[in-house]
Amino acid sequence: MIRIRLSTLLGEKRWTQADLARRTGIRANTINDYYHEMADRVNLEHLDRICEVLGCDLSDLIERVPDEASSFEFARADSLRRKA
């Protein structure tokens, strides 16, 4: 699962979503979607602007957290292939 850590980064700076929207020029609704991790897609230019304004790396903003269910499915599929 991909996690957007925007809420954590804004909390550390004590900024609101509105502060970030003003400083980046990104619509407040879009910032809200990123903040609450409701975005299905992200705009690379938005990510670049957010990182620039927050003074962070992309890896500080986005992280991949392994999904336990997916790991189980991959292990099971691998096991079935070995038996065949």
CATH number at residue 13: 1.10.260.40
- SS3 annotation, the chain: CEEECHHHHHHHHCCCHHHHHHHHCCCHHHHHHHHCCCCCCCCHHHHHHHHHHHCCCHHHHEEECCCHHHHHHHHHHHHHHHHC
pLDDT reported for residue 71: 56
Total structural domains within the chain: 1
Range of the domain at 50: 2-83
Single pTM value for the model: 0.78
Is pLDDT at 83 greater than 70 in this prediction? no
Using 50, 70 and 90 to split pLDDT, how confident is the model at 42?
very high
